[in-house]
Amino acid sequence: MAYKDFDAVIEAAKHKKRGVRVAVIEAGEEHTLDATMQAWRDGIIQPVLLGNREKILTLLKEPALAETVIHTESPEESARVAVRMVREGKIDFLMKGLAETSTVIRAILDRENGIRTGRTISQVTLIAVKTYHKLLCVTDPAIVALPSLEKKKDIVQNAVDVLNKLGYSRPKVAALCAIEKENPDMIETLDASALKKIVDAGEITGCEFEGPISADIAFDAAAAKIKGYQGSVCGDPDLLLMPTLAAGNIFCKAMRQFAGSINVGVMVGAKVPMVLVSRSTNTKSKYT
Amino acid sequence: MAYKDFDAVIEAAKHKKRGVRVAVIEAGEEHTLDATMQAWRDGIIQPVLLGNREKILTLLKEPALAETVIHTESPEESARVAVRMVREGKIDFLMKGLAETSTVIRAILDRENGIRTGRTISQVTLIAVKTYHKLLCVTDPAIVALPSLEKKKDIVQNAVDVLNKLGYSRPKVAALCAIEKENPDMIETLDASALKKIVDAGEITGCEFEGPISADIAFDAAAAKIKGYQGSVCGDPDLLLMPTLAAGNIFCKAMRQFAGSINVGVMVGAKVPMVLVSRSTNTKSKYT
């Protein structure tokens, strides 16, 4: 299975039995609260709102949610409390409101009180664009600058785990390079080959994997056919593994700017995922 | 000045006094010949058609061009003859027909008989896309895998020279990274800073330069304003310097696949530029 767009994800979430328990870190911001209320009304989430109680109550249009507010004195405290609640098994998902990303990550990574798993923390961006037939996920465009093979292994598994949880049984992964052959001048081609072997050996689970593969062959089944490249991933990838953070970052921003996509970032690899949306993003994106 | 799209480039070329002298390497292919004839009729080029004479004459719909055909026995010979004509000052521009790119590059780089300049050979892709207000150039998405600072200097100058020749007096260059600050984990940010100093010192000439700069700030003046970043390049770049070949390659292919762009590749850094279009590209692209 695969989701056509974010509306399809929301529709599927509405049909689940129990709302996901989400801690909103620094919830005192209108778009964040509106998105949270909408998701709560739709029965998708059970929110916990962390931040300045007075500010949150002023902005809150849904009185029933007032009891979910936990007052904190600072973004640092909001992050710490949210992370503690994850450790206590009370929270399934984190969402960043007005807090700085670095503040939240510090709390997550804290050696004493954090929620590390031993795995590399990485980012997945989910992209909805009219010119592709389903959601397109990209990793890692935001956290790990120049991942080693070992880190790429974690990065792929982190993203595949998210897709598996979303209902994809075997997402199709394309390890993007400029070419299809191993080339020692292009470390990403060697990594892609090695990762394919790792997947075949069952050390990365829950996905199909293709690479090294160039973007035209990955995106376009007709181009793949012309170049004599076969594989179920061609023209149909769910997840793009990027060679570097810079490549992924430029790709995601180009999709938004030139192809009109909606992008949603999720931080993965800790005990629970965290939605990372820019502080300037609107309600629709935050809701998604 | 800047060109809105490829039609604007063609229109400008029509008004120049003398047609550019173009050698077509392995011209015995219909789309290549049709594009060449069209450009000749418009007075833009004076072609020399290299390849199997019989095959070319069969496909040639313009008898007046028959006298420009030079018979050769192989793609290797076509490339060698074209390169020799460049050395003799008879050719301004190379165009690859049905020959393999590697065959042509070998002839260009030949130490005895080639047309090296001492500069790194690199590629520029010119992109026309409806969602940007002018042509967008990208370098290097095809030749130099992981350019050093020294090579990036050549790569930028190569591309700027092309733009200068096209009539841009000071093209705006954005050295794309994921962030705006120097970060030792991201070599491209250090290179971008160094290149900015090199431009300021007048060692790269004929352009404005900004970097390190993230793609959203480079593409979108409003995003730049929100993030407090100033510069004439923001929202208006002519040329994107990519951190790696892979990043540029993925970007260009994504533009074509998801934003519907038309891409034209030009190899630069030798004595004359060479148009590199995929053998499956249509007449319109080859003409452009």
pLDDT in tens, B20-58: 899 999 999 888 898 889 889 888 899 999 999 999 999
Q: Which 132-171 residues of chain B touch chain A by CB within 8 A? A: 132, 141-142, 145-146
Please compute the mean of the pLDDT values over residues B214-218 and round it to a whole number: 96
Supply the pLDDT for residue B17: 63
Residue in chain B lying closest to A215 (CA): B250
Cβ of residue B280 closer than 8 Å to a chain A Cβ? yes
Confidence of residue A89 (pLDDT cuts 50, 70, 90): very high
| A236 interface with B at CB cutoff 8 Å | no
What would the pLDDT profile of A33-77 be if each residue is shown by its tens digit?
988 998 898 888 999 999 999 999 999 988 899 999 999 999 999
The minimal CB distance from A246 to the residues B247, B255, B257 is found for B247
Please check whether the two domains, B6-115 and B122-268, share a CATH topology: yes
Report for A29-43, A186-200, B159-173: range of highest mean pLDDT: A186-200
CB distance from B93 to chain A under 8 Å? no
| Interface A:B, Cβ pairs < 8 A | 121
Q: Judge contact between B114 and B104, C-beta under 8 A.
A: no
**Which is nearest to B139 in space by CA: B119, B160, B118?**
B160
Triad A13, A16, A18: Cα angle to 5°: 110
- Inform me whether the C-beta atom of residue B176 falls under 8 Å from chain A C-beta atoms: yes
pLDDT for A281 beyond 50 = no
In the predicted structure, residue B72 carries a pLDDT above the cut 60: yes
Counting Cα atoms < 13 Å in the Cβ hemisphere of A230 gives 0
The reply to whether A256 touches chain B by the CB within 8 Å rule is yes
Chain segment B241-268, per-residue pLDDT in tens: 999 999 999 999 999 999 999 999 999 9
Instruction: Tell whether A216 lies on the interface with B, counting CB pairs under 8 A.
Output: yes
C-alpha dihedral sign at B113, B119, B121, B126: negative
Answer yes or no: do B219 and A253 touch at CB < 8 A.
yes
- In this prediction, residues A14-32 reach a mean pLDDT of 87
Q: Is B183 part of the contact surface with chain A (CB cutoff 8 Å)?
A: yes
pLDDT band, very low/low/confident/very high, at A27 (cuts 50, 70, 90) = very high
List the CATH code of the domain at A122-268: 3.40.718.10
CATH architecture of A6-116+270-287: 3-Layer(aba) Sandwich (3.40)
- pLDDT tens string A146-159: 999 999 999 999 99
The CATH number given to B6-115 is 3.40.718.10
- Comparing CB atoms, the residue among B220, B244, B250 nearest residue A251 is B250
Which candidate from B132, B187, B188 shows the least CB-CB separation from A258? B132
What mean pLDDT do residues B94-107 have?
90
- Asked if B226 lies within 8 A of A259 by C-beta distance, the reply is no
A250 contacts B176? CB cut-off 8 A: yes
pLDDT of residue B287: 52
Q: State residue A282's pLDDT score.
A: 46
Three-class SS of residue B267?
strand
Cα radius of gyration (chain B) = 19
- From B131, B216, B249, residue closest to A215, measured CB to CB: B249
CB of A222 within 8 Å of a chain B CB? The answer is no
pLDDT value at residue A288: 46
Residue A279: the pLDDT is: 42
Say if the Cβ atoms of B244 and A249 lie within 8 Å: no
Q: CA-nearest residue of chain B to A136?
A: B258
A145, A251, A254 ranked by CB distance to B185: nearest: A145
Please check the confidence at residue B77 and state whether its pLDDT lies above 50: yes
Average the pLDDT over A209-216 and give the result.
96
How large is the average pLDDT for residues A163-172?
92
The CA distance from A32 to A98, in Å, is 8
- How many other CB atoms are found less than 10 A from the CB of residue B41? 12
Residue-level pLDDT at B13: 83
* Beta-carbon separation of A258 and B261 below 8 A: yes
pLDDT over threshold 60, residue B85: yes
Say yes or no: B246 contacts chain A, CB-CB below 8 A.
yes
Which contiguous run of DSSP H or E holds residue B58?
Answer: helix B53-59
Residues of B with Cβ-Cβ distance to A243 under 8 angstroms = 244, 246-247, 250
- Closest CB to A176 among B129, B214, B250: B250
Among B141, B186, B280, beta carbon nearest to A145: B186
Q: Nearest chain A Cα to B280, which residue?
A: A226
- A183 with B145: Cβ contact below 8 A: yes
What is the pLDDT of chain A when averaged over all its residues? 91
Question: According to the model, what pLDDT value does residue B282 have?
Answer: 46
A254–B251 CB contact, under 8 Å: yes
**What strands, in cross-sheet order, belong to the sheet with B20-25?**
B69-71, B45-51, B20-25, B93-96, B274-276, B262-268, B122-128, B136-139, B239-241, B172-177, B208-214
Q: Is B131's CB within 8 Å of A260's CB?
A: yes
Chain A's closest residue to B215, CA to CA, is: A250
Q: Which of A265, A207, A215 is nearest to A238 (CA)?
A: A207
Q: For residue A143, give both structure tokens.
A: 């956290």
pLDDT digit string, tens, across residues B263-285: 999 999 999 999 876 444 444 45
Q: What is the model's pLDDT at position A52? A: 96
How close B82 comes to chain A (CA, Å)?
Answer: 28
Residue % of chain A over a pLDDT of 70: 95
Q: Do A145 and B249 touch (CB under 8 A)?
A: no
Helix (H, G, I), strand (E, B) or coil at B191: helix
Looking at every residue in chain B, the average pLDDT score rounds to: 91
Q: Is the pLDDT of residue B12 over 90?
A: no
Q: Which of A131, A146, A177 sits opposite B246 (nearest CB)?
A: A177
Q: Where are the domains of chain B?
A: 6-115, 122-268
